[in-house]
Amino acid sequence: MGVGVGGRSSALWGVVLGLLLGGCAGGPAAQGGAGASDAVPLPDREYRLYVANESSDVVSRVVFTPEEGAWVEREIRVGIMPADTDAPHGLAVAPGGEHFYVTLAHGTPYGWLWKFQAGPDTLVDRVRLGRFPASAGLDPQGTFVFVVNFNLHGDMVPSDLSVVHAGTMQEMTRVRTCLMPHGSRVDPSGRRHYSVCMHSDQLVEVGLTDFQVTGRYSLAPGSEGPLSLDDLGDSPHAHAHDPGPMVHIPEEEGRPLPDPGPHHAEGEARCSPTWVAPGRGARGAGFVYVACNAADQVLEVDVGQWEVTRRWETGRGPYNVEVTPDGGTLLVTLRGEGGLELLDLEGDGPRVSLETSRGVTHGVVVEPDGRYAFVSNESVGADRGTMDVFDLEARRRVATVELRHQPTGIDFWRSDPGGQGPVPGS
């Protein structure tokens, strides 16, 4: 299933591309303002990731080394529909790295979850889920895969969370959540799952002992607070016209932008949440971070007290969020302006803004040592997307590699000492 497409020699083109796109030579470094960190020794390691390309039906396996840059090591073809893209959207690597999972969002009308053996990149099994399965996440033990059925093209009705047993690839149950669920993350304890609903302005907590909703929280600006457990977010105001996940996208020639204002059609303020990430480290117990795409804000929510404890203004269109392994920094992708922001979770440090190589920035993941962050950029139109590598100590973009069309889901696979990674073909 895998097709080799590059090697170390091709990394040179990644460096050239990064320079042409304003990458390593000053754009992000100047904006991040941390060039003095260049003296930090570079780790002699190879980092590997998987990235889903939604409009190309391809998963890219990417390698990055600090000395040589980034390149595509292999492309894995996915999908079965002959006349339409199957749209690989979400991607999650199992703890330990033995398998990875890809959601195929398109369907007739139902989508799928595919399971691959990482390394050989061969298909192991698949299971049909709901309408437009999107974000995917696993518990810390890798026992279950949690997939939100975003229902992008269906009627505006409450959708659900699919719970899939990873070993047998059997869908165990579906948990009804709210309108257009997105984001799928389990807290470090492995006891609670979190997702958000874009058209309901809700944060939903599911207990993993019995797969029942254990908490709902309104994210609507000015109306934040706990909700009844049976509130599916389908009140009349939730059906109002909403531009949805594409509310903040770069303007193309001849194509007007949607109204970017943080309001429903009736004039109600809205959050339009697109992602949630549990805290890590000292703040890992009891806090989650939510991207409010329409309000240009990130919220810290205390899920023990069910209240907003901190609020950050961000750049345009925050989309995905990720906490560094030490719990000290929150990374925020900016879908609307093509950027990555770093927020200080331990103090009152300044917000750091870094430019990505292309627009419609989507996902972000940090490798386990916390030195490097990897970001997927969808781009627009016929332009291919990219994956950027950011040095979080130097606070600048250090590599860029061009992928296929509309890179979306991204997850980290493995880190190896330099020259000791998987042999070619594995």
Q: Is 70 exceeded by the pLDDT of residue 416?
A: yes
User: Among positive and negative, which fits the CA dihedral 396, 402, 408, 412?
Assistant: negative
Q: CATH no. for residue 111?
A: 2.130.10.10
| Residue 296 maps to a domain | yes
What digits encode the pLDDT tens for the residues 129-174?
999 999 999 999 999 999 999 998 767 899 999 999 999 999 999 9
User: Among positive and negative, which fits the CA dihedral 32, 36, 40, 45?
Assistant: positive
| Residue 46 maps to a domain | no
Instruction: Give the separation between CA 317 and CA 337, rounded to whole angstroms.
Output: 7
By DSSP bridging, strand 352-355 and strand 112-117 are unpaired
What digits encode the pLDDT tens for the residues 81-127?
888 899 999 999 999 999 999 999 987 789 999 999 999 999 999 99
| Residue 256 maps to a domain | no
Instruction: Give the separation between CA 207 and CA 216, rounded to whole angstroms.
Output: 12
φ, ψ (nearest 5 deg) of residue 308: -80, 120
What digits encode the pLDDT tens for the residues 233-244?
987 444 443 434
Percent of the chain with pLDDT over 70: 82
Q: Is 90 exceeded by the pLDDT of residue 262?
A: no
Q: Is 90 exceeded by the pLDDT of residue 16?
A: no
Mean residue pLDDT across the chain? 86
Q: Report the domain count for the chain.
A: 1
Instruction: Give the separation between CA 328 and CA 283, rounded to whole angstroms.
Output: 9
φ, ψ (nearest 5 deg) of residue 239: -90, 0
Report which of residues 330 and 245 the model is more confident about.
330
| Six token digits for residue 70 | 């980034």
- Count H helices, E strands: the chain? 2, 30
Q: Give the angle subtended at the CA of 199 by the CAs of 197 and 200, to the nearest 5°.
A: 65
Q: 164, 144 in Cβ contact below 8 A?
A: yes
Q: What is the pLDDT of residue 407?
A: 98
Output Rg (C-alpha) for the chain, integer angstroms.
20
Instruction: Put the strands of the sheet holding 352-355 in their side by side order.
Output: 318-323, 329-334, 339-344, 352-355
Q: 108-123: buried (b, 16+ CB within 10 Å) or exposed (e) per residue?
A: eeebbbbbbebbebee
Mean pLDDT, residues 322-328: 96
Nearest to 181, CA basis, from 221, 215, 147: 147
| Residue 310 maps to a domain | yes
| Residue 249 maps to a domain | no
Three-state SS for 324?
Answer: coil
| Residue 110 maps to a domain | yes
| Residue 277 maps to a domain | yes
Q: Is 80 exceeded by the pLDDT of residue 366?
A: yes
Q: End-to-end distance of the chain based on CA atoms, in angstroms?
A: 12
Q: 113, 125 in Cβ contact below 8 A?
A: no
What digits encode the pLDDT tens for the residues 18-51?
545 444 433 333 333 334 345 678 999 999 999 9
Q: 318, 298 in Cβ contact below 8 A?
A: yes
Q: Is 70 exceeded by the pLDDT of residue 401?
A: yes
- State pTM to two decimals: 0.86
Instruction: Fill in the amino acid letter for 160.
Output: D
Q: Which domain holds residue 71?
A: 2-35+51-234+265-416
Instruction: Give the separation between CA 37 and CA 106, rounded to whole angstroms.
Output: 44
Residues contacting 353, CB < 8 A, separation 6+:
31, 32, 315, 339, 340, 341
Q: Give the angle subtended at the CA of 334 by the CAs of 328 and 338, to the nearest 5°.
A: 125
| Residue 244 maps to a domain | no
